[in-house]
Amino acid sequence: MKKSLIGALAVSTMLSPVAAIAQTEVQFWHAFTGRLGELVKAQVEEFNAGQSDYVVVESHKGNYSETLNAGIAAFRAGEQPHILMVFEVGTATMMAAKGAIRPVYEVMAESGAAFDQDAYIGAVKGYYTSTDGDMLSLPFNSSTPVLWVNRDAMAAAGVDPDTDLSTWQNVGATLDALKAGGEECPLVTAWQSWIHLENFSAYHDVPFASKDNGFAGLDTELMLNGEAQVAHLTAMGQWAKDGKFIYTGRRNEGGANFRAGDCALFTESSAGYAGIKAEAKFDFDVRPLPYWEGVGNAPQNTIIGGASLWVMEGHEADEYKGAGEFLSFLSSSDVQAAWHQNTGYLPITAEAGDATRAAGFYEENPGTDVAVIQMTAKQPTANSKGLRLGSFDQIRGIIDEELEGIWSGDKSAQEAMDSAKERGDALLRRFETANR
Amino acid sequence: MEKRVTFRGWLLPLMLIAPQVVVSAVFFFYPAGQAIWQSLFIADPFGLSSQFVGFGNFEFLLSDKFYLASFATTAIFSILVTLCSMIPALFLAVMADRLIKGSGVYRTMLIWPYAVAPAIAGVLWLFMFNTRVGLVSWYLGNLGYDWNHVLNGGEAMGLVVVASAWGRISYNFLFFFAALQAVPRSVIEAAAIDGARFWRRFWTIVLPLLSPTTFFLLVVNVVYSFFETFGVIHTITSGGPQQSTTVLVYKVFSDGFVGQDLGSSSAQSVILLIIVGLLTVVQFKFVEKRVHY
């Protein structure tokens, strides 16, 4: 640590002998490893090289949950970083922690860095803004679920690979045809709660929870046992029973099956692009997430998953200025466009999306704009702005358990979702008590 | 008349026990006290605000039927882990004890699995039984058995039990083997001369003489299965499918470290502490009576 610091100092003095005197350090904790980790490191290096007042120091703190834990533990010990990456599920936890966080719009206003809230894509921004429309954290990596199609598997089962799969009605008929054609794994999914309940509700413009999905208050209750959700899960449960939908686990285990060519259809995040493109030895398509024709206002817009950057309290004014500069750099059009093209995550500003289109990226990589279109085609409603529920990591765990009850045939969709509501509401009441 | 060594004064004995007292105080009494204190509050994760709820956390837990169901899951899990780690260990120890050549090699190899960390053991077993690429599940598939621990609760329980017990077999083996070596040869020879066969000698002489070790291992293994198995469960099933492998300690871990609900997590630790305390008392009161030292 000391050695590298001296080394860094030596290098920076050699490069710019005047400016290296009083650089302000900004700590940035994130959850990325591998290719994504390298890309984050490159962004930080570019920022550090581009100006001489601030040094951003990035450190990897484990997966999403571990990074949030590290940030919380550090805050309790008075050693919190300036910028902490928090996954979307932890948003309500962070928002409720007044006194631990400094809202991004405030940081930006004080730092004087360029910041225009309207430049950010509504459906991305909505997840992280207060009810007054102020941006509380900076969206960093955002993705949304789409349908991945193995064209070769479709053809092998005697199904036209160009079949219209925009509605679940059509998907249902296609699953029958795939099964009849000898396909053993017609449909597989990742992140079942995120895709088949949270996004499902937004996409059909039906509430997932009361109080505008929790945006309007802590006294929110789950509404995931509504008619539309239960009907969808009933259909999925029947498909599971018939061997047309194969359940592989609570996270993205199904990705391995799909990338190996074992499955025909796969509902997964748009950020699965890099992995699928690298590994798949078959022709694949990206299609919009299917919806039930005639249910709710489908297709509304889908919501995001991913993480945002939170600025934490308890630091010096000039450090906040540095943090503001860095966040402004991250949301600049060039940085965002490169990030979007390299990772498959959504661009967080409309400008970055336009730049990508203008560069011809979408023509060269067909399907990479499906997620962008799906998220931005309509103005988000109260049901499709996002979710803001406390203890949501645990509630997702409960939903996973109940969904497993449906897939194994132990419970009907209605029973499972009623139970999920009852158990989830108990946790929401605890969260309300803790943050009263 | 037994001999007694007595210390003069208080200073030396106090100094001699001081290190142990300090270690216990720092690593047990202080955290246990904290857990009891925190179990009376519902607090936000950042420690910014907390509400005193008295026994509210306990009421919340004990009225949750899923938490109560987890007691039964824990009982089944602990009994299975204890049996599956002790019986094979005893069998292997008896076999290794009979070896004349090469017992050192067997001994060393049998101790190896103990060096594998629980989370890694979990990943190893998960890999073998992976529903898509697992070697064992592939063979089972060929035999016509469709292995799917992702949806089948019984299979998931079996898998976490085996993964948890596997490393412990080594530990138990070590103790059984040492105890077997301590059984006086003269007693066994006398029985052999009287015409007792191997299994007869084992049941009537060796096993009773092993009872102090068996009792010790019983206590230690129950404590292990209660407290140290969450790494295996976290890597293999995360408590699922549904709640079929959610044992008490896994819920403490996931509520505290995933859910950031310190109040509930602390209350669960307190309940767990009481259960294990009671269990140990029961073991010493009733089981120990059958132990011959």
Structural domains of chain A in order of their starting residue, each with its CATH number = 2-142+304-364 (3.40.190.10), 145-302+390-434 (3.40.190.10)
Query: In chain A, what residues touch B150 (CB-CB under 8 Å)?
Result: 247-249, 253
| DSSP letters for A191-226 | SHHIIIIIIHHHHTT--SBHHHHTTT-S---B-TTS
Query: Which candidate in B44, B53, B250 is best for mutational testing of the A interface (most A CBs within 10 A)?
Result: B44
Sign of the dihedral through C-alpha B68, B72, B75, B80: negative
CA B123 to chain centre: 19
Q: Is B240–A96 a contact, with Cβ atoms under 8 angstroms apart?
A: no
Q: Is A393–B258 a contact, with Cβ atoms under 8 angstroms apart?
A: yes
* Beta strand extents in A170-279 (DSSP E only): 187-189, 245-246, 265-269
Query: In chain B, what residues touch A70 (CB-CB under 8 Å)?
Result: none
Query: What letter would DSSP give residue B194?
Result: T
Q: Give the A:B interface size as CB pairs under 8 Å.
A: 94
Contact A205, A302 (CB under 8 A): no
* Segment (H or E) for A408: none
Give the pLDDT confidence of B17-49 residue by residue, as tens digits.
999 999 999 999 999 999 999 999 998 888 888
Chain B nearest-CA distance from A160, in A, is 27
Q: Is B242–A402 a contact, with Cβ atoms under 8 angstroms apart?
A: yes
Residue A241 confidence (pLDDT) above 90: yes
Residues in chain B: 293
**CB-based contact, A80 to chain B, within 8 Å:** no
Question: C-alpha distances in angstroms, A396 versus A229, A268, A382, A400?
Answer: 15, 17, 21, 6
**Chain B residues 30-49 with CB within 8 Å of chain A:** 42-49
Give the pLDDT confidence of A227-240 residue by residue, as tens digits.
999 999 999 999 99
Q: Is A430–B42 a contact, with Cβ atoms under 8 angstroms apart?
A: yes
Residue A16 confidence (pLDDT) above 50: no
B257: nearest CA partner in chain A: A69
Query: In chain B, what residues touch A423 (CB-CB under 8 Å)?
Result: 66
Residue A3 confidence (pLDDT) above 60: no
Residue B139 confidence (pLDDT) above 70: yes
Q: Is B261–A262 a contact, with Cβ atoms under 8 angstroms apart?
A: no
The domain segmentation of chain B, as residue ranges, is: 64-290
**CB-based contact, B256 to chain A, within 8 Å:** no
For domain B64-290, the CATH class is: mainly alpha
Give the pLDDT confidence of A361-401 residue by residue, as tens digits.
999 888 888 998 998 889 889 999 889 999 898 899 999 99
Give the pLDDT confidence of B242-292 residue by residue, as tens digits.
999 999 999 998 888 888 889 999 999 999 999 988 988 888 888 777 776
According to DSSP, the residues that pair with A55 across neighbouring strands are A25
* Segment (H or E) for A60: strand A54-60
CA B281 to chain centre: 17
B132: nearest CA partner in chain A: A257
Give the pLDDT confidence of A346-358 residue by residue, as tens digits.
888 888 989 999 9
Six-digit token string for B86: 């002790």
Q: Is B240–A401 a contact, with Cβ atoms under 8 angstroms apart?
A: yes
Give the per-residue pLDDT at A21. Answer: 52
Query: Which candidate in B260, B262, B265 is best for mutational testing of the A interface (most A CBs within 10 A)?
Result: B260
Residue A19 confidence (pLDDT) above 60: no
* B173 contacts: CB under 8 Å, gap ≥ 6: B89, B92, B93, B96, B110, B111
Instruction: Round the average pLDDT of chain B to a whole number and report it.
Output: 90
Instruction: Note the pTM of the prediction, 2 decimals.
Output: 0.89
